Structure 1
Amino acid sequence: MRFRHIVLGAVALSSIILTGCGTTEAVNPPWFSVNNANQTVDLTIAAGTNSTNGFANFNGYANGQMTVDIPVGYTVQVHFVNDGGIPFDFGIYNSVNKLAFPGAGASVSSMVNDSGAGVFPGQSSNFKFVASQVGDYRMENLLLRIDDQTRPENFGMWDWFDVTNGGTPQVVVSNS
């Protein structure tokens, strides 16, 4: 009888653990287009598209729920749109909040003490860069940054941008 309770307890615990794990899946969103022959990706990122994370999201994802995978050497054309109610910005940054690639958004130093920095509601900006270095980077809104040596979570307004050694460009989302 005691063994049965232990087994039932273990089954119940594993069910609870697995329920909280979430799942990931590759998706084919309309805002992501790939031309493998030319090694280019067109990526439209919209800030504040829905109420997820209090409207602090990119294409409805926040807190690292979205990953954009790009093979090294691809050129990425970004169209950033602010659908939110306050100024936002967008860029691809390394672990110390520096632009991961030349041209991959606004640098923190260009935003500091600039009252006109960012993309205002209803406005957009475009930039293009080459994903030239394999690594894991973050797509973030660093508009409100003051100190570029620490990494706040920017109210959860961040997702992943991974440059891979090969493969196919893709978007992977998580429901956790």
Structure 2
Amino acid sequence: MRQRAARDQQRLDSGAVGPKDLENLQRELTSLAKRQSDLEDVVLDVMERREAAQERAAELTARVESVQAKTAEAEARKSAALEGIDAEGFTAAKEREVIASTVPDDLIKLYDKLRSQQGGVGAARLYQKRCEGCRLELNITELNEVRAAPANQVVRCENCRRILVRTADSGL
């Protein structure tokens, strides 16, 4: 378009055109100038939008990198926590083996059976006259039976059937 405008301007400046062609060339030059101005406005608008889009893309890229860094950090913390849990589980299993070797086999069998029936908890602490397995308070009759039982006797909750572990806080 610029080349055409320059060519038309040369023809106009040369003076070798007739009055009718002169008028047509002037109209065409005006039209070309307006069209060029409109196209330049469109190009400027596109450039501004492109710049804004590039800034937004850079911002979003930075946010993605930040989220990825936080995710990696969280994954590292999770891995460390899982390793700690695994180590604790291994230690607890070893401790259980040591303790279980001192407990009679029939009590271990009862405990394992109750644990499988009760969702992983075969024994519960008796705390302030309440079984912590089922969270129900023992009635007077049950409490008297527990009080009367020797310390080495296995006592069970009448409600959930778990083994009751008596402590100083049992409320007996």
TM-score range, shorter chain: under 0.3
TM-score (ref. length: structure 2):
0.24
- Specify which structure has the higher proportion of helix: 2
Q: Greater relative contact order (Cα 8 A, min sep 6): structure 1 or 2? A: 1
- Specify which structure has the higher proportion of strand: 1
Which has the larger Rg? 2
TM-score (ref. length: structure 1):
0.24
